[in-house]
A and B are shown apart, each in its own frame.
Chain A
């Protein structure tokens, strides 16, 4: 809903969006047909929320980031297999001590207003990211930088005091045009953010009708070639049911389905004739987090008992209709640092009760747990407007009741939820999700130094060994060393259970069948967007280009 689609984006948000522009993949017609790629047609996508601005440095919602990705580029990006590759940077090298990165920039890249792109723009973007006047949530990575220099228009040298592994990814941020933004002390207040952005990306901005639509047009001079699809229109449709009807009636060509729509409402002949569904595991997971200084949850055995009491399979069946996977830690299965051999908590109510008994809880005659005259009752908080989370809460409520724990559910509007309860630590437990990315550094979530009101370790997790490992993991570029550190972190988190790691939902995009060239890969589907096309004969919007 409706609703402002705010995400707490931990790591750079360029991971797995439905947009973004990636390099050539072998293009082949889907469904066995071999039509030639053709220029033209428009792709109309549905979005719950409107954009709030076009400069991704100063926005934090997914709609705005999606729009920015059409218009802007970073120095680097993830390819289809989640390897970093150059975008505005042609190549780069990391000094052996890991403290210096030299980027060589592409030549002949032009801003949409035909001004050439140079290293001055990169310098400018960096300065804006560390400028206290820039209200950005993504400045942290750039505060680690000691110095940035640009000896010539196509070289940028970044130096760090200490090696900083997430550095590479951080240079995937959208590079901003210096010549247009210089005169604005706060880039958030600039017309580039508010009304007409100008970037280097595959699409040019055409118009924004607030609350209605945003229109983009293929950039004929894009440095990787003109995208096939001539126009992209993002239509703002707040209601999920309305959006689905728009899809079926042809008003939009693409949307993200809910698990329920994917599994139950799209299984008709009619639907299959017109649409193609995709599913892939995105970089996000949902968890039940405990406030660790809460008298009940201080005891590790209680947290472990709750993990045993929760049936993740039932959650995935009931909430996601099977369209997701169990998680055992903060990395999804298949991630390069994913550790499959950590302590697991199979659904086992008897064991849960035993662990609770060990922690001093006694089962009373009415089936509830009690300790020192206190009933085991607590409240879980979650945000409104997220159906999966409220369903998850309802199912967990029932599962915990079976072991004598009474869990109340409070659903709150996002702003109130974050500001009144999460930041002020006024919760017993909460159900939330993290959207992460390929970069495994999760210092901000697990470090004991990140427990302040505006910081992300809101459960108050503090473990000296994890602190050491987090620091070690981000201070080396050696993949093996990093992997070892993150493997160990997962073991500790699995043992400690500061969260019950619940599940990773699959992303469920659906497209009109005329759109070809979509090839799901580890990075999702958006990586080769500029190579998507509609065969000439099937183009729908022929006069609208």
Chain B
């Protein structure tokens, strides 16, 4: 097992190098290179910025040396100072925002698993039934509805009309004066809508994947054999088919990381959640190159980690890979 993980880790190295190279080239291909971008934005400090940028990117060095430095800084997650008026370290800004985004993503991924797997299995077992059709339309609706529109509709319903849930933000003002249980409850109430929305949007991918895996497995010979042996359908489904259909689902976990991160831009903006998506959007609007690059690289890292975890999880669950 350790050997497998070790090999899997080695495989991510070329990807890491690729990510760094691609982002390095992107900065240097921006019209005029990094300096011009910086100078354009800060007319009042052009000379000072120019100097700082030259130092930061080591622009007086040959290009391979520059890349080497960029690689070194990336390894220590040093993305330089944000171009935003506050001029803070990009890594610091990302660090204070990333837990929120990750929490919501993990929760919504959990929700997707909880709902999509039974839905997919049942749809497959009852293929072409009304349940199958309705669940198909429902999960695709989740994918198809513009997030910000549904978000506002839910806010109006649950926040304004019914008054059950807060509209936006992460905690209420009185949060700090609440008891521990009160704090947890407060936080949970704020997370309901964003997690629900992110989950609803991602349901389609997972449940359809589960459904078609299940269909494939059901068609396999050994299931027919099991049925022929006289096992009840329920048992066949749960004991034999499900385990084999579930395995590949683990890999889709890793693949859904970039989509969830991308979606964060929208729901963090509409729900006023100070996460990485909102930060990225602000960076984009003010052409904050260090911030944009930093978040892109971090986003890619997270995806890599997601893929890695998925593969390891898959290996843990599937003895064939573990042995190999």
Contact = CB atoms under 8 A, between A and B. Distances in A.
Interface of A: 1-4, 42, 44, 50, 52-53, 58-61, 64, 135-137, 188-189, 193-194, 209-213, 233, 235-239, 241-242, 245-246, 248-249, 251, 413-416, 419-420, 423, 453-454, 541, 543-544
Contacts of A414: 285-286
Contacts of B269: 1-2, 238-239
A514 to B, nearest CB: 15
Tell me if B's interface is mostly helix, strand, loop or mixed: helix
Contacts of A453: 43
B285 A2 contact: yes
Given A233-B173, A238-B269, A241-B152, A248 B85 contact: no
A61 B85 contact: yes
A474 to B, nearest CB: 23
A45 to B, nearest CB: 12
A416 B284 CA distance: 11
A245 B160 contact: yes
B167 interface: yes
18 contacts: A1-B269, A42-B173, A53-B86, A210-B93, A236-B272, A239-B270, A242-B155, A242-B168, A242-B270, A242-B272, A245-B160, A249-B159, A249-B163, A251-B167, A251-B168, A423-B43, A543-B177, A544-B174
Interface stretch (B195-203, B229-237, B274-282): B274-282
Contact of B272 (A52, A60, A239): A239
A419 B271 CA distance: 31
Given A2-B269, A212-B274, A414-B285, A541 B173 contact: yes
A422 to B, nearest CB: 11
Given A52-B84, A210-B96, A415 B272 contact: no
Contacts of A50: 282
Given A44-B173, A60-B85, A249-B159, A211 B97 contact: yes
A189 B45 CA distance: 14
A242 B267 CA distance: 11
B117 interface: no
Contact of A242 (B45, B152, B278, B282): B152
Contacts of B40: 419-420
Interface residues of B, number: 43
Contact of A419 (B41, B160, B173, B282): B41
Contacts of B166: 249, 251
Contacts of A60: 85
B44 A135 contact: yes
A416 to B, nearest CB: 7
A59 B85 contact: yes
For the complex of A and B, list the 6 residue pairs with the smallest distance between their C-beta atoms, beginning with the closest: A211-B274, A52-B85, A237-B272, A212-B274, A454-B43, A419-B40
Contact of A53 (B44, B85, B152, B163): B85
A98 B87 CA distance: 40
Contacts of A211: 97, 274-275, 278-279
A415 B87 CA distance: 16
Nearest to B270: A239
B169 interface: yes
B88 interface: yes
Contacts of A249: 159-160, 163, 166-167
Contacts of B134: none
A542 to B, nearest CB: 10
Nearest to A136: B44
Given A242-B152, A544-B177, 9 more contacts: A135-B42, A235-B169, A238-B278, A242-B270, A249-B163, A415-B41, A415-B287, A423-B43, A544-B174
Contacts of A423: 43
Contacts of A242: 152, 155, 167-168, 270-272
Interface string B161-179: 0010011111001100100
A58 to B, nearest CB: 8
Contacts of A58: 85
Nearest to A453: B43
A4 B282 CA distance: 7
B70 to A, nearest CB: 24
Given A52-B84, A246-B168, A541-B174, A210 B274 contact: yes
A248 B279 contact: no
A23 B148 CA distance: 44
Interface in B115-140: none
B190 to A, nearest CB: 11
B321 interface: no
A380 to B, nearest CB: 21
Given A52-B85, A245-B155, A544-B173, A236 B274 contact: yes
Contact of B174 (A135, A239, A419, A543): A543
Interface in B264-303: 269-272, 274-275, 278-279, 281-282, 285-287
Contacts of A212: 169-170, 272, 274
A2 B278 CA distance: 9
Interface in B180-210: none
Contacts of A454: 43-44
A3 B285 contact: yes
Contacts of A415: 41, 285-287
A239 B149 CA distance: 12
B279 A189 contact: no
B63 to A, nearest CB: 27
A4 B286 contact: yes
A209 B274 contact: yes
Contacts of B45: 135
A3 B269 CA distance: 10
B203 to A, nearest CB: 24
B1 interface: no
Nearest to A193: B86
B107 to A, nearest CB: 19
Nearest to A46: B272
Given A212-B169, A245-B167, A249-B160, A413 B285 contact: yes
User: Which of B40, B84, B272, B287 has the largest number of chain A CB atoms within 10 A?
Assistant: B272
B162 to A, nearest CB: 10
A118 to B, nearest CB: 30
Contacts of B15: none
A249 to B, nearest CB: 5
A193 to B, nearest CB: 8
B142 to A, nearest CB: 21
Contact of A238 (B42, B155, B272): B272
Contacts of B155: 242, 245
Interface in B51-80: none
A454 B287 CA distance: 18
A506 B44 CA distance: 32
B9 interface: no
A541 B275 CA distance: 27
Contacts of A210: 93, 96-97, 274
B269 to A, nearest CB: 5
A53 B88 CA distance: 10
Contacts of A413: 285, 287
Nearest to B271: A242
Contacts of A1: 269, 285
A189 B103 CA distance: 31
B144 interface: no
A413 B281 CA distance: 12
A134 B104 CA distance: 40
A245 B270 CA distance: 11
